[in-house]
């Protein structure tokens, strides 16, 4: 089969021929029909999740969906032909967090699909059966690839912060796949959404794919905090701020503009970036600063249903074949992408 291979952490991807993998007893083999080519994968390629030399060469790619093509001997709940999408985290299934349905907090964490196991930048991928979640009828494979992370992560954020119609939600980095689906989802839950990004072309894209409940805000320049106040009712500021970017200056502006009782959510996995407000600022505004870590399996399944039901539209900006994947990653590194590019290995 054809596969995109990372020879070593931080190196260029190459397109190679590999043997079709056989599933282990507890795995299924999936004929890959759609896989997101995303900034999260780029971070993994650069060694941002794990840079153990024993893990490379590696086929990256984790935001994928496809058709079950073979099942391991011990798999009883999946059959050839089932439509599945992948859960990103390799979890133990036995710890307290896994048992209570919070696999994203697994305490015997096994790593990430596409980092600690072979991923889906290929025609076929093996996956633990426990990571293969159902794709609802009516949802395309590319939509299911969006659900796997691009919408599941926003759903986890919205449920953690209980986003509803009293909220003004500021999304920092709104043009990326997480930002654009979060903007749509928060609006669908009744919130007023301020979608912030630093480039006019990216903001125009957000404007084109979201409804009237989403207002775009230019986050460039020095007066972002004032722009936020003027964009909120009575100048009260946003009640929920979600930082998808990790730019500390922008986060400081958003913190300064935060409404009383507001919540700030960080998704940044960059190392060596810190944000430390004075303790009294938490008290004066009764503010909360939260980290958000992917999503539970149930939330991935619910994200897929939200897309199947049309409550949120999957924003797929481009579909490419395997040969184009290295150049898409070059564009991601150059900041030249918005929305989500999806790989279809049959192209
Ligand atoms: Zn666990």
* CA–centroid distance, residue 159 to ligand 1 (Å): 21
Query: 102 and 16, same structural domain?
Result: yes
- Number of Cβ atoms within 10 Å of the Cβ of 215: 18
* CA–centroid distance, residue 22 to ligand 1 (Å): 25
* CA–centroid distance, residue 111 to ligand 1 (Å): 11
Rounded-to-integer distance, Cα 282 and Cα 279, Å: 6
Enumerate residues 6+ apart whose C-beta is below 8 A from 232.
168, 192, 194, 238, 257, 259
Helix 177-188 to helix 200-209 angle (10° resolution) is 40
Q: What is the CATH number of the domain that holds 129?
A: 3.90.180.10
Q: What is the CATH number of the domain that holds 185?
A: 3.40.50.720
Query: 263 and 176, same structural domain?
Result: yes
pLDDT at 330 over 90: yes
Contact 320, 347 (CB under 8 A): yes
* CA–centroid distance, residue 94 to ligand 1 (Å): 5
Contact 208, 183 (CB under 8 A): no
Q: Mean pLDDT over residues 241-263, rounded?
A: 91
Contact 80, 68 (CB under 8 A): yes
What residues pair up with 241 in beta bridges, in sequence order? 170, 264
The pLDDT assigned to 224 comes to 85
Residue 146 belongs to some domain of the structure: no
Residue 304 belongs to some domain of the structure: no
Q: Which of 227, 262, 231, 266 is nearest to 247 (CA)?
A: 266
The pLDDT assigned to 81 comes to 98
The per-residue pLDDT for range 98-112, each reduced to its tens digit, is 999 999 999 999 999
Q: Mean pLDDT over residues 23-52, rounded?
A: 97
pLDDT at 271 over 80: no
The per-residue pLDDT for range 182-229, each reduced to its tens digit, is 999 999 999 999 999 988 888 999 999 888 889 999 988 778 888 887
Query: 95 and 6, same structural domain?
Result: yes
Residue 35 belongs to some domain of the structure: yes
The per-residue pLDDT for range 137-154, each reduced to its tens digit, is 999 999 999 999 999 999
**How many domains does one find in the chain?**
2
What residues pair up with 266 in beta bridges, in sequence order? 243, 291
Range of the domain at 37: 2-140+314-343
Residues of the chain with pLDDT > 90, as a percent, come to: 83
Whole-Å CA distances, 339 to 11, 85, 108, 286: 24, 19, 33, 34
Give the chain's length: 347
Query: 198 and 123, same structural domain?
Result: no
Residue 301 belongs to some domain of the structure: no
* CA–centroid distance, residue 102 to ligand 1 (Å): 8
Averaged pLDDT score across all residues of the chain:
95
The pLDDT assigned to 158 comes to 98
* CA–centroid distance, residue 100 to ligand 1 (Å): 10
Q: Is residue 40 classed as helix, strand or coil in its secondary structure?
A: helix
Rounded-to-integer distance, Cα 125 and Cα 120, Å: 5
The pLDDT assigned to 37 comes to 98
Q: Mean pLDDT over residues 167-190, rounded?
A: 95
* CA–centroid distance, residue 297 to ligand 1 (Å): 12
Query: 234 and 173, same structural domain?
Result: yes
Which of 230-234, 266-270, 279-283 reaches the highest mean pLDDT?
279-283
The pLDDT assigned to 297 comes to 98
The pLDDT assigned to 238 comes to 95
pLDDT classification of 89: cutoffs 50, 70, 90: very high
Residue 197 belongs to some domain of the structure: yes
Residue 299 belongs to some domain of the structure: no
* CA–centroid distance, residue 110 to ligand 1 (Å): 9
* CA–centroid distance, residue 129 to ligand 1 (Å): 15
The per-residue pLDDT for range 302-328, each reduced to its tens digit, is 999 999 999 999 999 999 999 999 999
Residues of the chain with pLDDT > 70, as a percent, come to: 100
The per-residue pLDDT for range 44-83, each reduced to its tens digit, is 999 999 999 999 999 999 999 999 999 999 999 999 999 9
Query: 49 and 125, same structural domain?
Result: yes
Query: 286 and 168, same structural domain?
Result: yes
Residue 265 belongs to some domain of the structure: yes
Query: 156 and 39, same structural domain?
Result: no
Q: pLDDT: is 233 or 76 the higher one?
A: 76
Query: 170 and 61, same structural domain?
Result: no
Query: 173 and 43, same structural domain?
Result: no
The pLDDT assigned to 216 comes to 93
Q: Which of 98, 139, 142 is nearest to 120 (CA)?
A: 142
The pLDDT assigned to 338 comes to 80
Query: 278 and 166, same structural domain?
Result: yes
Query: 155 and 134, same structural domain?
Result: no
Residue 298 belongs to some domain of the structure: no
* CA–centroid distance, residue 95 to ligand 1 (Å): 4
């Amino acid at each position: 089969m054809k596969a995109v291979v990372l020879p070593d952490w931080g190196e260029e991807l190459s397109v190679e021929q590999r043997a079709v993998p056989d599933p282990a007893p507890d795995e299924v083999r999936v004929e890959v029909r759609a896989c997101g080519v995303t900034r999260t994968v780029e971070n993994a390629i650069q060694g941002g999740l794990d840079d153990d030399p024993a893990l490379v060469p590696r086929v990256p790619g984790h935001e994928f969906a496809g058709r079950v093509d073979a099942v391991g001997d011990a798999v009883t709940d999946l059959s050839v032909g089932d439509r599945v999408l992948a859960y990103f985290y390799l979890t133990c299934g036995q710890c307290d967090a896994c048992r209570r349905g919070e696999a994203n907090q697994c305490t015997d964490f096994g790593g990430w699909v596409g980092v600690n196991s072979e991923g889906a930048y290929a025609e076929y991928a093996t996956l633990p059966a426990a990571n293969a979640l159902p794709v609802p009828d009516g949802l395309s494979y590319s939509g299911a690839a969006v659900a796997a992370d691009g919408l599941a992560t926003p759903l986890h954020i919205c449920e953690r912060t209980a986003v509803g119609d009293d909220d003004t939600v500021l999304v920092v980095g709104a043009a990326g796949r997480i930002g654009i689906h979060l903007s749509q989802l928060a609006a669908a839950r009744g919130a007023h959404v301020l979608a912030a990004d630093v480039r006019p072309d990216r903001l125009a894209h957000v404007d084109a794919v979201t409804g009237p409940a989403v207002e775009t805000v230019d986050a460039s320049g020095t007066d972002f905090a004032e722009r936020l106040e003027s964009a909120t009712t009575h100048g009260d500021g946003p009640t929920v701020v979600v930082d998808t970017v990790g730019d500390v200056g922008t986060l400081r502006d958003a913190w300064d503009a935060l409404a009383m009782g507001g919540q700030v959510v960080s998704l940044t996995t960059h190392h060596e970036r810190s944000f430390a407000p004075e303790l009294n600022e938490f008290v004066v505004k009764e503010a909360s600063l939260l980290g958000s870590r992917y999503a539970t399996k149930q939330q991935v399944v619910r994200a897929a249903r939200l897309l199947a039901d049309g409550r949120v539209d999957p924003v797929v900006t481009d579909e490419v074949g395997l040969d184009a994947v290295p150049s898409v990653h070059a564009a991601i590194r150059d900041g030249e992408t918005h929305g989500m590019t999806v790989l279809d290995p049959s192209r």
